[in-house]
Structure 1
Amino acid sequence: MKAGSGFRRRYGDSPPHLLLLLCSFALTGYAGVRLLSGDWFGIVLWFVGAAVLHDLVLLPLYGLADRALRRAVPAPASYVNHVRVPAFVSVLLLLVWFPLIAGTQWRRYERYTGLSADGFWQRWLLITAGLFAASALWLCVRAAVSRARARRRGAG
């Protein structure tokens, strides 16, 4: 019988996992206390609004876009992930940096950082192109490896 198997059976994972989980909760609690020490009502309102917006608006849109993609691309589901992942990362970057990409917060950004805000949308487009190019390259590598394995099985 392995040592610690009773803990794993009761908790479901190893003691280091529990320790890491407790440390992450402590860090999150500390960050929350520091964050909410200022305008706590505005921050709570922003989080609740973001959750409602995500669950009631964005999640159904994700589902519709995914369903449309699977119907439009007659490929195995694992290949569709080569479009899903770069699209997800690109949209996430767009959401995070939207005020600067759209040019609505350039003055504030330049005032606080001392850096120029020019070129955010061009950089976002380049990052998006790079993500899709890397994903396409990875798909080509996967397909080549798959074909090579199939040939070896057929020849063996």
Structure 2
Amino acid sequence: MGEFRRAYGAAPWHLLLLLGCFAVTGWIALRLAGEPTAGRMLLWFVGAAVAHDLVLFPAYASVDRALRGVLGRGGPPSALNHVRVPALGAGLLLLVYLPGVLGLGDGTYARATGLSPGAMVGRWLAVSAVLFAGSALLYVARRLSRRPR
């Protein structure tokens, strides 16, 4: 067992898990190969990867660097992580619901759900505010619990 770990670089369960992931990915690729929209899906996936690497990553890395400059590395608990986590949640929600938040595809959303998409901006802002408020409360609670008595 020790020799396998030295040769492979990880435990045997890691190799089994990785082979399982490759099997599932291959099965999905075979299922999508027969789809008439497979080319569009592949184009969207490649476009999303390129947009992330060339636009989004430099943008949020710059914002993170600016936050580190303003907040400092901080001691426990780090204020920086209490800004990063809700920002990540709000950003992911924005990406998932971006067409609705921007008011695009109103007819499609209304036909599919029977609801008006007009409230999506307010709901996204409310959820983002709750995420940041919860993180701020957690930060304050952690700071107060670590205060010397």
With the length of structure 2 as denominator, give the TM-score of the two structures.
0.82
* Highest RCO, 1 vs 2 (Cα 8 Å, sep ≥ 6): 2
Q: Distance in 2 between matches of 1:114 and 1:13?
A: 51
Partner SS for 2:97: helix
Deviation at 1:100, TM superposition (A): 0.8
| Pair 49,7 (structure 1): closer, same or farther in 2 beyond 3 Å | same
Larger radius of gyration: 1
Letter paired with 2:18:
L
| 1:75-134 deviations in Å (ceiling 9; x for gaps) | 617321111111122111101110011111121122234444342212211110111112
Structure 2 gaps of 5+ residues are: none
Q: How many matched pairs? A: 146
Q: What root-mean-square deviation, in Å, do the aligned CA atoms of Structure 1 and Structure 2 show? A: 2.2
| Pair 145,11 (structure 1): closer, same or farther in 2 beyond 3 Å | farther
With the length of structure 1 as denominator, give the TM-score of the two structures.
0.79
Structure 1 gaps of 5+ residues are: 152-156
1:60-139 equivalences under 5 Å are 60-74=58-72, 76=74, 78-139=78-139
| Pair 117,35 (structure 1): closer, same or farther in 2 beyond 3 Å | farther
Aligned to 1:59: 57
| Pair 99,25 (structure 1): closer, same or farther in 2 beyond 3 Å | same
What percent identity do the matched residue pairs reach?
49
